[in-house]
Amino acid sequence: MRILHFADAHIGIETHGKLDPASGLNTRLLDFVRCLEYIVDAAIERQVDVVLFAGDAYDYANPTPTYQKLFGAQMKRLSDAGIPTVLIVGNHDMPVSYGKASPLELFGVLGVPNIHVAVKPQVINVTTRSGVLQVACLPYPNRSALLTREEVRAMSEEEIAKRIEGICSDCISSMAERLSHDAPSVLLAHVAAWNAVYAGSERTAELSTEPKLMLSALAMPQFKYVALGHIHKYQDLNPSGAPHVVYSGSIDRCDFAEENEQKGFCVVSIADGVELEFLETPARRFVTIDVNMHGLKNPTQALINAIMERNVKDAIVRIRYSCTDEQQTTIDWKAVEQALSGAFRVVSVARQVEKPLQRPQAVITEQMSTIEALRRYIRHKSELKELEDELIRYAQQLESELIRESAT
Ligand SMILES: [Mn+2]
């Protein structure tokens, strides 16, 4: 049996895009749709038995009709090709308040053939050309669906995360126990995992107190494969297999922070053993060019050389340079523009200005949580010390609102 697993389509990301006059759509939207189309093409050409989509179809829970039409058209192609497809709801597809619908539910309501949607944890028995596949589905664990308002109020962010982690682990093991031994099973989940490496643009999510599952809660022996969504960086959390626990990653690059990441999807063959293949999508390239021109005679040439050394063709480019005021006046911007003419888009050419340090800074590292970092900062500033408790309280409030609204 062959499975195509992908996740995090994020239809609706338009950052660094511009209007495409031919279609009237944003060029970044078109990039993501091109990658989605590529994945659907692959599913049809390779005649996979089933497609598993691990959540975050859209970038937010109220996608415009345009976004829904674009995503829906690709799902329709899978449906028409007779390829059963399972969609689960990610945090971005999930309405903030309990009781409201996810945009993915439309496929279920309309009864689109071959499309299955899981809004809640459930096992879906999918009939494929190669037999039945049991798909244990764990959509994003939404706190407003799992905990009452009173419970949330009485707990700290850490306690809430711990509680939800427990609920999810129990939920996965109870689904695993109820599976039949007569057909293969997989887990399809939209969730963070403790040993996952976040994509470049997801630093805030890493520092947040969102629930994260242990590898042991995911890699249960009943599953032949664990298909994950949520984290944008492709990775196998259990490379020794038995089972592979895989984030297929987002289908395109979301920002410069994902510049050096491969983007794509997974094709998994389940027979006596399990074979995992990662295939790249035609994702948009991002290129950052850093140039230090101090001490150089010809700053313009230095800029042009730095551009020529990199492949900027069809890429989204940003340039960060440093120079003296005197050098700045001599730069021939027409010539620089010429060197960049093959780029898809140049989003910034920014001079880095070094500011002299007035007093020693508080040491804040990426390993700290947002709250720890804020506390360190406050303690470093004598004038803020009295406000510490209040500031921390507001920051926690802000952080939890942000997590609820977006997360990854
Ligand atoms: Mn997500």
pLDDT tens, residue by residue, 259-268: 999 999 999 9
| 212 Cα to the center of ligand 1, angstroms | 12
pLDDT in tens, 10-46: 999 999 999 999 999 999 999 999 999 999 999 999 9
Centre of ligand 1 from the C-alpha of residue 129, in Å:
30
Nearest Cα to 293, choosing from 265, 326, 268, 263?
326
Distance from residue 408's CA to the centre of ligand 1 (Å): 5
Contact 189/219 with Cβ under 8 angstroms?
Answer: no
Q: How far is the CA of 191 from the centre of ligand 1 (A)?
A: 7
Cα of 369 from ligand 1 centre, angstroms: 20
Of 139-143, 195-199, 305-309, 360-364, the least confident = 360-364
Q: Of 319, 315, 263, which Cα lies nearest the Cα of 27?
A: 315
pLDDT for position 203: 56
Residue 61 Cα to ligand 1 midpoint, Å, equals 11
My answer on whether 249 and 299 are in the same domain is no
Residues 338 and 366 in one domain: no
**Separation of CA 294 and ligand 1 centre (Å):** 43
pLDDT band at 246 (very low <50, low <70, confident <90, very high): very high
Phi, psi of 233 (to 5 degrees): -95, 125
Min mean pLDDT across 202-206, 232-236, 318-322 is at 202-206
State the distance from the centre of ligand 1 to the C-alpha of 9, rounded, in angstroms: 10
**Maximal CA-CA distance, the chain:** 76
Please give the mean pLDDT across all residues of the chain: 91
Classify burial at 273, counting beta carbons within 10 Å of its beta carbon; exposed 0-12, middle 13-18, buried 19 or more.
exposed
Both ends of the chain: CA-CA distance in Å?
31
Same domain, 211 and 167: yes
Q: How far is the CA of 185 from the centre of ligand 1 (A)?
A: 23
In this prediction the pTM is 0.84
Q: How far is the CA of 3 from the centre of ligand 1 (A)?
A: 21
If you measure from the C-alpha of residue 42 to the centroid of ligand 1, how many angstroms do you get, rounded to a whole number? 23
Q: Concatenated DSSP letters for 197-215? A: PPPGGGHHHHHS---EE-H
Give me the pLDDT at residue 200, please: 67
* Alpha-carbon gap, residue 374 to 351, rounded angstroms: 28
Q: 33 C-alpha to center of ligand 1: Å? A: 18
Instruction: Answer yes or no: do 95 and 183 share one domain.
Output: yes
SS3 sequence of the chain: CEEEEECCCCECCCCCCCEECCCCEEHHHHHHHHHHHHHHHHHHHCCCCEEEECCCCECCCCCCHHHHHHHHHHHHHHHHCCCCEEEECCHHHCCCCCCCCCCCHHHHHCCCCCEEEECCCEEEEEEECCEEEEEEEECCCCHHHHCCHHHHHHCCHHHHHHHHHHHHHHHHHHHHHCCCCCCCEEEEEECEECCCCCCHHHHHHHHCCCCEECHHHHCCCCCCEEEEECCCCCEECCCCCCCEEEECCCCCCCCHHHCCCCCEEEEEEECCCEEEEEEECCCCCEEEEEEECCCCCCHHHHHHHHHHHCCCCCCEEEEEEECCHHHHHHCCHHHHHHHCCCCCEEEEEEECCCCCCCCCCCCCCCCCCHHHHHHHHHHHCHHHHHHHHHHHHHHHHHHHHHHHHCCC
Domain closes at, from 330, 351, 372:
351
- What does the pLDDT look like over 340-371, one tens digit per residue? 999 999 999 999 886 666 666 777 777 778 88
Query: What pLDDT score does 373 carry?
Result: 85
Q: What separation in Å is there between the alpha carbon of 99 and the centre of ligand 1?
A: 20
Q: Which residues are paired to 190 by β-bridges?
A: 229
What's the confidence (pLDDT) of residue 368? 78
Cα of 188 from ligand 1 centre, angstroms: 13
350 alpha carbon – ligand 1 mean position (Å): 31
Counting beta carbons within 10 angstroms of the beta carbon of residue 138, is it exposed (0 to 12), middle (13 to 18) or buried (19 or more)? buried
Q: Can you give the pLDDT at residue 374?
A: 87
User: Measured in angstroms, how far is the CA atom of residue 386 from the centroid of ligand 1?
Assistant: 38
Centre of ligand 1 to C-alpha 199, Å, is: 12
**For residue 174, what are its two tokens?**
């109870």
Ligand 1 centroid – CA 380 distance (Å): 35
If you measure from the C-alpha of residue 97 to the centroid of ligand 1, how many angstroms do you get, rounded to a whole number? Answer: 17
One domain, residues 235 and 297: no
CA angle 330, 316, 332 (to 5 degrees): 10
Containing domain of residue 309, as a range? Answer: 287-351
Q: Which of 262, 280, 298 is the last residue of a domain?
A: 280
- How many domains in the chain? 3
Q: Are residues 255 and 270 in the same domain?
A: yes
Residue 118 Cα to ligand 1 midpoint, Å, equals 15
| 295/234 same-domain check | no
* 10 CA to centre of ligand 1 in angstroms: 9
* Percent of the chain residues topping a pLDDT of 70: 95
> Is the per-residue pLDDT at 325 higher than 70?
yes
Is 374 in the same domain as 273? no
Residue 253 alpha carbon to ligand 1 centre in Å: 14
Output the six-digit token pair for 354. 């070094």
How many whole angstroms separate alpha carbon 248 and alpha carbon 236?
8
Cα(251) to centroid(ligand 1), Å = 13
CB distance 162 to 147 below 8 Å: no
Same domain, 244 and 138: yes
* Residue 206: per-residue pLDDT: 52
Q: How far is the CA of 229 from the centre of ligand 1 (A)?
A: 7
CATH of the domain at 37: 3.60.21.10
CA distance 399 to 396: 5
Does 347 share its domain with 364? no
Quote the ligand 1 centre to 57 CA distance (angstroms).
Answer: 9
Distance 85 CA to ligand 1 centre (A): 19
Residue 234: band (very low, low, confident or very high) from pLDDT cuts 50, 70, 90: very high
Ligand 1 centroid distance, CA of 92 (Å): 6
| Cα(402) to centroid(ligand 1), Å | 13
Residue 100's pLDDT is 87
* Segment 364-396, tens digit of pLDDT: 777 778 888 888 888 888 788 888 888 988 988
How far does the centroid of ligand 1 lie from the alpha carbon of residue 250, in Å?
10
pLDDT, one tens digit per residue, over 289-314 is: 999 999 999 999 999 999 999 999 99
Task: Tell me, in angstroms, the distance from the centre of ligand 1 to residue 26's CA.
Answer: 22
Q: Do 172 and 225 reside in the same domain of the chain?
A: yes
| pLDDT for res 205 | 52
Q: What is the DSSP letter of 283?
A: P
**Domain co-membership, 295 together with 311:** yes
